[in-house]
Amino acid sequence: MRATVMYGAGDVRVENVPDARLVEPTDALLMVTSACICGSDLWPYKSLPPSAKGRRMGHEFIGVIEAVGRDVRTVKRGDLVVAPFAWSDGTCEFCRQGLQTSCLHGGWWGGDLDGGQGEAVRVPQADGTLVKLPVGRDDALMPSLLSLSDVMGTGHHAAVAARVGPGKIVAVVGDGAVGLCGVIAARRLGAEQVILLGRHPDRIRLAKDFGATDIVSERGEEAIQRVRDLTGGLGAHAVLECVGLEESTRTALGIARPGGAVGRVGVPQDEMIPASSATFFGNITIAGGPAPARAYIEELLPEVLDGRIEPGRVFDRVTDLDGVPDGYRAMDRREAIKVRIAF
Amino acid sequence: MRATVMYGAGDVRVENVPDARLVEPTDALLMVTSACICGSDLWPYKSLPPSAKGRRMGHEFIGVIEAVGRDVRTVKRGDLVVAPFAWSDGTCEFCRQGLQTSCLHGGWWGGDLDGGQGEAVRVPQADGTLVKLPVGRDDALMPSLLSLSDVMGTGHHAAVAARVGPGKIVAVVGDGAVGLCGVIAARRLGAEQVILLGRHPDRIRLAKDFGATDIVSERGEEAIQRVRDLTGGLGAHAVLECVGLEESTRTALGIARPGGAVGRVGVPQDEMIPASSATFFGNITIAGGPAPARAYIEELLPEVLDGRIEPGRVFDRVTDLDGVPDGYRAMDRREAIKVRIAF
């Protein structure tokens, strides 16, 4: 079969790899119908050391079940299913409390396993991982459904971690696909004011469509001052950190009001959190991490199906598998917000 | 009047200072009857640069009201009152939500204001700050009542920030007075297992009396491994960071289980939080800051009055005002857990 392999920074290839196949009795074999490139794929795209073996890529996908192992109970051949960006057994201590990204028997796509940016995937722990979709593979809602595998769940997680609720003032740091989904999530949870920190006109337009009330295009100290000005001098109750860099984290902590919370979902690129004394003295909570997207699918799916939320609008380009390397290039250069791969 | 002034690291003097007096109509003038030295006073005791002016010390005290300004309504001459370690107006946005340490019109004792380690204190915002005590100045409960000004409220805050609740496994990093009060708080909130990380025999004895179920005396990676061993390999649900050093923070984050929380109340001595990838990937929440002790007095006072909790047992030495410099020395050398000053 053909799949995407990254051999180093900027070196993405689509090539023949061993066919995906069932290995464990809890596996499913899935033929991918829709997948995408993630903002987090751009970190290795910028920095992965060269290797001869390469790394299989892609952790967001929808597909049709081709076969299941003998212990699989909840999905069957022919089902259209969405996979969250981490696989999980659904039964361990952490899964039971809705933190499937910490599943004791789970893991991440790609690496030595199949990735979503390929024709087929072996899905471990299929019963815990996959969710059946009640639509056909060519449904017009496919982009929004695909967003449930990561970006919509991740934006939602940032909002939950930042304790967004009715009447709250929310700031979203980052205008990528996750930040834009964070705007959707904040509005959905009742935020009164949603300030997006971003500077790309196409993304700002979409953020406003999603319900952002204010845009801050400054950076660093100037951004902090602008958010203060927009919030009666006090800062935001809830801040969604959707980037992961030291500067964006510093900004996120700097615009939270005392007693507020920062929900961070951007994969941190540093081992230290630049939390100044003000973070401690202001009792500002730092929460978040990888979203348990699996836990959120049940909650968000009905709203995608009835069109109340349209996170699929973050996809502004579609390609086939051969176009994946160019999709990375386009996202890295900010020519595209997020690229969908249709098979 | 006489009061404690710190002129630099290790240089604590008791000397004559200008008499405390009413200045604003919202002030109260209070004659101190009971005060103490805080573990946080040891940070400047170790590191304060020398100065000719010096810094007034002390932020935990009980006293009798001598006079009040014309706008003061809730306390009057002759009342015995406890002061939390920050003063606050009780009416601003942050006070109304119980975060008095971020009061828009509040502040901290000492510095250019009077400190608690002296004969009298001008109390700004007396109505918002002071709580009347229903006992006499020589009541046997005085040590426990005094702990409500800081350490008991601070231990409680760490537990609340770390989301301690019924059945939870709790770890307390630090066996100082705050850590010991954290043990009381954790048990009071229903913790099933309370692991104290500490190594001083007298403190360990007290921690066990307060309800600690396990003691870990190792440090660093060994401590993390020991806590793992005590928690089925998963770590603690809730961790109370009661020190403030980089190493203790690293340990606190290292012993929290995925989805858990660290409540930090030790004043951080660094501008960065050493949060490894594991903190992010485990969705570990970092919360806490200075305790809104004022908010907690109403909740904790009844239990002190009826003897259900005895946080005053953290005081293992009593001195008069002249003995304060020696009290600093004793606490710094770990000869005393916490020194009370009786006037």
Q: What does pLDDT average to over chain A? A: 97
CB B118 within 8 A of CB B174: no
Q: Chain A neighbours among B 219-238 (CB < 8 Å)? A: 234
In B, minimum Cα distance to A86 occurs at: B281
Three-state DSSP string of chain A = CEEEEEEECCEEEEEECCCCCCCCCCCEEEEEEEEECCHHHHHHHHHCCCCCCCEECCCCEEEEEEEECCCCCCCCCCCEEEECCEECCCCCHHHHCCCHHHCCCCEECCECCCCCCECEEEECCHHHHCEECCCCCCCCCHHHHHHCCCHHHHHHHHHHHCCCCCCCEEEEECCCHHHHHHHHHHHHCCCCEEEEECCCHHHHHHHHHHCCCEEECCCHHHHHHHHHHHCCCCCEEEEEECCCCHHHHHHHHHCEEEEEEEEECCCCCCCCECCCHHHHHCCCEEEECCCCHHHHHHHHHHHHHCCCCCHHHHCCEEECHHHHHHHHHHHHCCCCCCEEEEC
**pLDDT given for residue B85 in this prediction:** 97
Does residue A223 carry a pLDDT above 80? yes
CATH superfamily of A2-150+292-342: Medium-chain alcohol dehydrogenases, catalytic domain (3.90.180.10)
Q: Write the CATH number of the domain with boundaries B155-288.
A: 3.40.50.720
Interchain CB contact of B167 with A (< 8 Å) = no
pLDDT digits (tens, 9 = 90+) for B139-181: 999 999 999 999 999 999 999 999 999 999 999 999 999 999 9
- Indicate which of B280, B281, B294 best probes the interface with A, i.e. most A CBs within 10 Å of its own CB: B280
Kindly report the nearest CA distance between residue B87 and chain A, in angstroms: 14
Interchain CB contact of A271 with B (< 8 Å) = yes
- Indicate which of B104, B276, B283, B286 best probes the interface with A, i.e. most A CBs within 10 Å of its own CB: B283
Q: Indicate the pLDDT class of residue B188, thresholds 50, 70 and 90.
A: very high
Interchain CB contact of A1 with B (< 8 Å) = no
pLDDT digits (tens, 9 = 90+) for A166-182: 999 999 999 999 999 99
Q: Report the C-alpha gap between A106 and A85 in whole angstroms.
A: 11
| CATH 3.90.180.10 segments of chain B | 2-150+292-342
Strands B317-319 and B339-342: parallel
Q: Report the C-alpha gap between A208 and B137 in whole angstroms.
A: 61
CB B288 within 8 A of CB B265: yes
CB A293 within 8 A of CB A85: yes
**pLDDT given for residue A195 in this prediction:** 98
Q: Residue A233: CB partners within 8 Å, gap ≥ 6?
A: none
Q: Report the C-alpha gap between A242 and A265 in whole angstroms.
A: 5
Kindly report the nearest CA distance between residue A50 and chain B, in angstroms: 23
Indicate left, alpha or beta for B270 from its phi (over 0: left) and psi (-120 to 50: alpha): beta
Does residue B112 carry a pLDDT above 90? no
Interchain CB contact of A10 with B (< 8 Å) = no
C-beta atoms of B280 and A268 within 8 A: yes
Q: Give the CA distances from residue B75 to residues A141, B82, B84, B132, in Å, rounded to whole numbers and listed in that order.
A: 65, 11, 15, 7
Does residue A111 carry a pLDDT above 80? no
Interchain CB contact of B93 with A (< 8 Å) = yes
In A, minimum Cα distance to B157 occurs at: A283
The pTM of the full predicted model, rounded to 2 decimals, is: 0.96
Q: Indicate the pLDDT class of residue A76, thresholds 50, 70 and 90.
A: very high
In B, minimum Cα distance to A107 occurs at: B281
Q: Indicate the pLDDT class of residue B16, thresholds 50, 70 and 90.
A: very high
Kindly report the nearest CA distance between residue B274 and chain A, in angstroms: 5
**pLDDT given for residue A248 in this prediction:** 96
Q: Which two tokens stand for residue B337?
A: 């857990």
**pLDDT given for residue A341 in this prediction:** 98
Q: Indicate the pLDDT class of residue A318, thresholds 50, 70 and 90.
A: very high
**pLDDT given for residue A260 in this prediction:** 98
C-beta atoms of A288 and B286 within 8 A: no
CB A336 within 8 A of CB A34: no
Does residue B108 carry a pLDDT above 90? yes
Residue A268: list chain B partners with CB under 8 A.
Answer: 275, 277, 280
In A, minimum Cα distance to B104 occurs at: A234
Interchain CB contact of B288 with A (< 8 Å) = yes
Cα angle for residues A30, A323, A133 (degrees, 5° grid): 30
Interchain CB contact of A284 with B (< 8 Å) = yes
**pLDDT given for residue A290 in this prediction:** 98
Interchain CB contact of B317 with A (< 8 Å) = no
Interchain CB contact of B267 with A (< 8 Å) = yes
| Interface contacts A/B by beta carbons within 8 Å | 101
| CATH 3.40.50.720 segments of chain B | 155-288
**pLDDT given for residue A275 in this prediction:** 87
Does residue B111 carry a pLDDT above 80? no
Residue A290: list chain B partners with CB under 8 A.
Answer: 280-281, 283
For residue A138, with 0-12 CB atoms within 10 Å meaning exposed, 13-18 middle and 19 or more buried, which class applies? Answer: exposed
- Indicate which of A237, A286, A294, A296 best probes the interface with B, i.e. most B CBs within 10 Å of its own CB: A286
Q: Residue B333: CB partners within 8 Å, gap ≥ 6?
A: none
| CATH 3.40.50.720 segments of chain A | 152-288
Q: Which of B206, B199, B201, B216 is nearest to B177 (CA)?
A: B206
For residue A335, with 0-12 CB atoms within 10 Å meaning exposed, 13-18 middle and 19 or more buried, which class applies? Answer: middle
Pick from B93, B285, B292: which is nearest to A287 by CB?
B285
Interchain CB contact of B7 with A (< 8 Å) = no
C-beta atoms of B259 and A286 within 8 A: no
- Indicate which of B94, B99, B168, B286 best probes the interface with A, i.e. most A CBs within 10 Å of its own CB: B286
C-beta atoms of B99 and A259 within 8 A: yes
Q: Indicate the pLDDT class of residue A51, thresholds 50, 70 and 90.
A: very high
In A, minimum Cα distance to B233 occurs at: A104
Cα angle for residues B318, B319, B321 (degrees, 5° grid): 145
Interchain CB contact of A289 with B (< 8 Å) = yes
C-beta atoms of B289 and A282 within 8 A: yes
**pLDDT given for residue A139 in this prediction:** 95
CB A129 within 8 A of CB A325: no
Does residue A186 carry a pLDDT above 90? yes
Q: Report the C-alpha gap between A89 and B109 in whole angstroms.
A: 54
Give the domain A152-288 fold: Rossmann fold (3.40.50)
Mean predicted confidence (pLDDT) in A106-135: 96
Pick from A102, A234, A258: which is nearest to B282 by CB?
A102
